[in-house]
């Protein structure tokens, strides 16, 4: 049986290769194969149908997606969105997109041209983020892009948009490197050196003497924030002696018992990672008898945190951008009401930031009075005192917004507003 | 490391390793009989956990009803996969079957994303799995012990089936020579379906206990356990059930101990764990319990 002597012989070593079969048997085989192919096609068709619904939301009747020169009025203006809708950061992406959906519903056109919002899932993955950005720019002809939850995703996407010269407004990537050295990347949120300081200060004010840091080394967000927290801790406490341990994990890890084993005697654990990791980490820490405080960052803010961690999450404190409880301006109150009416839930940080990012993009198009990406970029860069629902947004020379942070505490699985911290 | 810390880490490692082992024995059994690396095994793990979630969340069923139903449903899915995707390819080169297995795995994952949604779901533990046990300074949750005991029982049961029953004898015969077995009057389709059913049931049981230990469900949750279980099976000598058990336990303990000994390098634990694996396989290519197989030509 010569046909087995190929390179896959170790795989093929089991049974024998095809041998002459009776005609009838072959026909049955063919039939069953046909059936299988038909089944597969139905499934794939279902998949495609299922995928397109959340992926491309048409706000106006689509009439040829071709971008026309900015002088003439285009048939529609495409605003691209790339967010993690699946994977470890799915909740963040989904919440952000809710905010964007609401904003898009309230604004159906800009400069008299209908808006088309195109969402591409970046799957919480760096490579996919670059692909998603490429698709939005090349295929969908987006003139401005919004995204992404997750600093690593944004950094990967930013490389593509920078080369293409398409402006991007980040909703919630907080790592400084997202906008550093980039002409076309902006954001409507604060950055991590500030966020790290907010939690170090909280620790100091609440008598935390010994802290352990657990970071996700696969995520720039987590690595960066840990470093900024450490720096601020040193400034505030005078030394790093209080940081009793710094340990790490990586994407996909679910077992943190070994990391936690070393840090039983800390007063607090600071674990700036994503909500899913944080929830498992807190649960395992409590199971191992850890009684101290959990401190986290904005990426903890998702209903899943409380659902998964249950009682273990109670009392955990995080820094974030926004709280519906603290919404005071008429605009932000109107946003909360409209959001509740549409989604039947209270908007959280990411929904509010997505809403602001989208509206800022429209505002910039209006101020530029043009659909030219370069002109829009300049208009975004010149943003001053834009009244967002998450606070006043002024884009500084690095492309970032300087804004207040809020401190939230988990109570009955939900995030309760504690206080606001000024930059 | 103090003795207590060592014991704590050992227990954590054994509990993680038992989960790997439970998933690995199903993997290795299917391989042993069909010479098929069933890449969809990890996704059956995911399905098992999701069925329990829906049983509890939507139908409000108690755990002793949902667990068996979840295992049954997953078994059914396993049989459907075998009948529709693997059986028609049985007489073709192994590589086709292998490609089909990868395809099934992607199909299940993406179907799960569409049907269950991309956002994670919280799995609620039944009370009896959630109580804390303190032995000296070693803190354990009751599920730790249940996972270990279940893994041992299932492994013993599987070995009993393979070595002591008629079906098991037929399975062993098929693993030696499929065609001769069918000439002996054994309905090989029937036996292979049973093998897949058992493999899927083991995957579901592993998935449920995985979700008990890590109560967060997402459509891609089966990838990591599937891969780790495959590695455990290879480590133990693929095709050998005891080997898979030992491989799983070893992998779990090594992973935990590496982090415990080098906490600053914790994020790189997989790099170290698999460097060790490669070294071990260099010196013992057939795995810990594997036998050298004569090539059949």
- Binned average pLDDT, 10 residues per bin, chain B of 297 residues: 87 94 93 89 96 92 93 97 93 90 95 93 88 82 92 95 94 90 92 95 96 94 91 90 93 92 84 84 85 55
Beta-bridged to residue A212, according to DSSP, are A245, A269
Asked, for residue B2, whether it belongs to a domain, the answer is no
Q: How far is CA A21 from the centre of its chain?
A: 56
Q: Is the pLDDT of residue A216 over 50?
A: yes
**Among the partner residues A46, A90, A217, nearest to B267 by beta-carbon distance:** A217
3-class SS shares of chain B: helix, strand, coil, % to 5? 75, 5, 20
Query: How much of chain B exceeds pLDDT 70, in percent?
Result: 98
What is the rounded distance in angstroms from the CA atom of residue B74 to the CA atom of residue B47? 6
Put simply, the chain B residues between 216 and 245 with a CB less than 8 A from any chain A CB are 216, 218-220, 223-224
Percentages helix, strand, coil for chain A (3-state, rounded to 5) are: 45, 20, 35
Angle between helices B188-213 and B223-236 (to 10 degrees): 120
> From the list B35, B114, B267, which residue is nearest A250 (CB)?
B267
ipTM: 0.91
Tell me which residues of chain B, numbers 1 to 20, contact chain A at a CB-CB cutoff of 8 Å: 5, 8-9, 12-13, 16
How far apart CA A404 and CA A387 sit, in angstroms, is 14
CB contact under 8 A, B113 and A289: no
Q: Does A280 sit within 8 Å of B119, measured CB to CB?
A: no
Any residues with CB less than 8 A from the CB of A200 and at least 6 apart, and which?
A229, A232, A233, A235, A236
Å between A7 CA and nearest CA of chain B: 10
Residue A277 to residue B216: CA distance in whole angstroms: 9
Q: Establish if A36 touches chain B: CB-CB under 8 angstroms.
A: yes
The H-or-E segment that residue A147 falls in is none
Share of chain A above pLDDT 90, in %: 78
Which has the closest alpha carbon to A118: A77, A57, A166, A75?
Answer: A57
CB B116 within 8 A of CB B46: no
The pLDDT of residue A49: 47
A104-144 confidence digits (pLDDT tens): 999 999 999 999 999 999 999 999 999 999 999 999 999 99
Q: What does the pLDDT read at residue A16? A: 45
Determine how β-strand A293-296 pairs with β-strand A386-388.
unpaired
Closest CB from B107, B118, B178 relative to A87:
B118
What pLDDT sits at residue A66? 45
- How does DSSP classify residue A250? -
CA–CA min distance B113, chain A (Å): 7
pLDDT of residue A4: 40
pLDDT at A56 over 50: no
DSSP codes of every residue in B59-125: S---HHHHHHHHHHHHHHHHHHHIIIIIGGGTTS-HHHHHHHHHHHHHHHHHHHHHHH-SS-EEPPP
Beta-strand runs (E) in A133-253: 144-146, 168-170, 185-187, 211-216, 243-249
Residue B159 lies in a domain: yes
Using a CB-CB cut-off of 8 Å, the residues of chain B touching A255 are 12, 16, 213-214, 255-256
* CA neighbor of B225 nearest in space, from B47, B50, B25, B24: B24
Nearest to A200 by CA among A266, A267, A270: A270
Query: Which DSSP symbol is given to B266?
Result: G
- What pLDDT score was predicted for residue A71? 57
pLDDT value at residue A28: 55
Confidence of residue A67 (pLDDT cuts 50, 70, 90): very low
Residue A286's pLDDT band (boundaries 50, 70, 90)? very high
- Compute φ and ψ for A367, nearest 5 degrees: -65, -35
Which residue in A2, A258, A259, A302 has the most chain B C-beta atoms within 10 A of its own C-beta, making it the best mutation to test that interface?
Answer: A258
> Facing residues of B138 across strands?
B135
- Closest by CA to A422, choosing from A407, A408, A411, is A407
In chain A, what are the domains? 77-190+328-403 (3.40.50.2300), 193-320 (3.40.50.2300)
Say how far apart CA B110 and CA B286 lie, in whole Å. 34
Per-residue confidence (pLDDT) for residue B23, from 0 to 100: 95
| SS3 assignment, position B242 | helix
CB–CB contact A218 B260 (8 Å): no
**How far is Cα A219 from Cα A95, in angstroms, rounded to an integer?**
20
Q: Which helix (H) or strand (E) holds A363?
A: helix A349-368
Contact between chains at B9 and A258 (C-beta distance less than 8 A): yes
DSSP state string for B116-150: H-SS-EEPPPPGGGS-EEEETTEEEEHHHHHHHHH
Based on the structure, what is the number of domains in chain B?
1
Give the span between the Cα atoms of A330 and B22, in whole angstroms. 57
pLDDT band (50, 70, 90) for residue A218:
very high
How far is the C-alpha of A392 from the C-alpha of B199, rounded, in Å? 58
Angstroms from A111 CA to nearest CA on chain B: 35
> For A139, which DSSP code?
I
Q: Measured between CA atoms, how close is A28 to chain B, in angstroms?
A: 10
Task: Please choose, from the candidates A288, A18, A147, A360, the residue with its C-alpha nearest in 3D space to the C-alpha of residue B93.
Answer: A18
Q: Scan residues 207-236 of A and list those with Cβ closer than 8 Å to B.
A: 215-218
Look at residues A132, A146, A116, A107 and name the one whose alpha carbon lies nearest to residue A56.
A116
Pairing of strands A268-270, A56-57: unpaired
Q: Do B257 and A258 touch (CB under 8 A)?
A: yes
Least CB–CB distance from B259: residue in A21, A90, A259 = A259
- The radius of gyration of chain B from alpha carbons, rounded to an integer in Å, stands at 19
Q: Which residues in chain A have Cβ-Cβ distances shorter than 8 Å to B4?
A: none
Interface test with chain A among B42, B98, B122, by most A beta carbons within 10 Å:
B122
pLDDT of residue A63: 43
Chain B residues touching residue A19 (CB < 8 angstroms): 91
Helix (H) or strand (E) holding A193: helix A192-205
Q: Can you give the pLDDT at residue B169?
A: 94
Q: Which residues of A touch B179 (CB under 8 A)?
A: 15-16
Q: Which residue has the higher pLDDT, B142 or A63?
A: B142
User: Which residues between 71 and 100 in chain B have a beta carbon less than 8 angstroms from any beta carbon of chain A?
Assistant: 84-85, 88, 90-95, 98
Name every residue whose Cβ is closer than 8 Å to that of residue B234 and which is 6 or more positions away in sequence. Answer: B247, B281, B287
> How many other C-beta atoms are found inside a 10 Å radius of the C-beta of residue A52?
10
CA distance B40 to B50: 15
Helix axes A220-237 and A192-205, enclosed angle (nearest 10): 50
CA-based nearest residue to A336, from A404, A419, A417: A417
Q: Is residue B101 included in any domain, yes or no?
A: yes
- Reported in sequence order, the residue ranges of A50-97 that DSSP labels E, i.e. its strands, are 56-57, 77-83
pLDDT at B84: 95
d(CA A158, CA A138) in angstroms, rounded, equals: 15
User: Could you tell me if A276 and A308 are in contact, meaning their C-beta atoms sit under 8 angstroms apart?
Assistant: yes
Whether residue B214 and residue A14 make contact (CB cut-off 8 A), yes or no, is no
Q: What is the distance in angstroms between the Cα of A378 and the nearest Cα belonging to chain B?
A: 36
Quick check: B218 and A85 CB within 8 A? no
Where is B252: in which H helix or E strand?
A: helix B241-261
Full domain range(s) for residue B130: 13-222
What Cα–Cα distance (Å) separates residue B247 from each residue in B14, B98, B228?
Answer: 11, 23, 10
**Mean pLDDT computed over every residue of chain A:** 87
| Residue B292, in any domain of the structure | no
Omega prior to A9 cis, within 30 of 0: no
């Amino acid at each position: 049986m010569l046909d087995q002597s190929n390179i896959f012989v170790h795989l093929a070593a089991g049974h024998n290769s095809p041998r002459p079969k009776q005609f009838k048997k072959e026909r049955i085989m063919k039939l069953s194969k046909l059936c299988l192919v038909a089944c597969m096609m139905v499934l794939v068709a279902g998949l495609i149908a299922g995928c397109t619904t959340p992926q491309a939301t048409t706000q106006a009747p689509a009439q040829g997606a071709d971008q026309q020169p900015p002088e003439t009025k285009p048939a529609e203006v495409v605003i691209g969105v790339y967010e993690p809708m699946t994977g470890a950061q799915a909740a963040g992406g989904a919440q952000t997109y809710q905010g964007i959906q609401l904003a898009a519903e309230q604004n159906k056109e800009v400069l008299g041209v209908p808006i088309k919002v195109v969402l591409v899932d970046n799957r919480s993955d760096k490579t996919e983020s670059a692909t998603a950005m490429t698709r939005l720019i090349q295929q969908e002809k987006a003139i401005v892009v919004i995204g992404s939850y997750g600093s690593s995703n944004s950094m990967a996407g930013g490389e593509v948009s920078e080369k293409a010269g398409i402006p991007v407004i980040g909703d919630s990537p907080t790592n400084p490197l997202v906008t550093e050295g980039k002409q076309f990347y902006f954001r409507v949120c604060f950055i991590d050196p500030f966020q790290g300081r907010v939690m170090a200060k909280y620790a100091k004010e609440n008598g935390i003497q010994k802290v352990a840091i657990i970071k996700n080394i696969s995520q720039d967000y987590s690595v960066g924030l840990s470093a900024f927290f450490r720096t601020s801790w040193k400034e505030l406490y005078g030394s790093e002696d209080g940081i009793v341990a710094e340990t790490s994990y990586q994407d996909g890890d679910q077992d943190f018992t070994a990391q936690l084993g070393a840090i039983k005697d800390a007063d607090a654990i600071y674990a700036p990672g994503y909500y899913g990791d944080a929830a498992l980490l807190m649960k395992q820490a409590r199971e191992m008898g850890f009684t101290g405080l959990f401190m986290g960052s904005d990426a903890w803010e998702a209903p899943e945190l409380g659902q998964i961690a249950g009682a273990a999450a109670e009392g955990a404190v995080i820094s974030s951008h926004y709280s519906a409880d603290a919404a005071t301006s008429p605009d932000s109150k109107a946003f909360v009401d409209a959001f509740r009416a549409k989604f039947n839930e209270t908007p959280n940080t990411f929904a509010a930031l997505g809403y602001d990012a989208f509206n800022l993009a429209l505002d910039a198009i209006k101020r530029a009075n043009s659909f030219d990406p370069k002109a829009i970029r300049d208009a975004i860069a010149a943003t001053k005192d834009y009244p967002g629902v998450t606070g006043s947004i002024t884009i500084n020379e690095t492309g970032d917004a300087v804004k207040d942070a809020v401190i939230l505490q988990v109570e009955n699985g939900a995030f309760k507003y504690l206080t606001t911290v000024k930059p | 490391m103090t003795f207590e810390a060592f014991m704590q880490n050992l227990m954590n490692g054994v509990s993680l390793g038992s989960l790997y082992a439970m998933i690995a024995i199903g993997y290795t059994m299917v391989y042993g009989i069909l010479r098929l690396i069933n890449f969809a095994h990890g996704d059956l793990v995911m399905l098992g956990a999701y069925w329990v979630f829906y049983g509890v969340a939507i139908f409000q069923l108690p755990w002793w009803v949902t667990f068996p139903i979840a295992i049954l449903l997953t078994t059914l899915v396993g049989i459907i996969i075998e009948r529709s995707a693997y059986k028609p390819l049985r007489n073709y080169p192994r590589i086709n079957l292998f490609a089909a297995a990868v395809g099934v795995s992607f199909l299940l994952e993406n179907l799960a994303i569409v049907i269950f949604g991309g956002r994670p779901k919280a799995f609620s533990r039944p009370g009896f799995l959630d109580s804390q046990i303190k032995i000296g300074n070693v803190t354990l949750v009751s599920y730790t012990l249940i996972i270990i005991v279940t893994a041992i029982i299932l492994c013993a049961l599987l070995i009993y089936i393979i070595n002591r029953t008629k079906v098991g004898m037929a399975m062993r015969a098929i693993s030696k020579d499929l065609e001769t077995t069918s000439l002996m009057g054994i309905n090989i389709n029937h036996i292979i379906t049973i093998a897949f059913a058992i493999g899927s049931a083991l995957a579901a049981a592993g998935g449920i206990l995985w979700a008990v230990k890590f109560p967060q469900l997402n459509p891609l949750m089966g990838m990591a356990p599937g891969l780790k279980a495959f590695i455990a099976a290879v480590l133990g000598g693929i095709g050998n059930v005891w080997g898979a058990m030992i491989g799983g336990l070893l992998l779990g303990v090594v992973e935990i101990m590496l982090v415990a000994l080098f906490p600053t390098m914790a994020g790189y634990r997989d790099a170290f764990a698999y460097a060790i694996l490669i070294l071990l396989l260099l010196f013992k290519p057939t795995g810990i319990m594997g036998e050298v197989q004569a090539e059949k030509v």
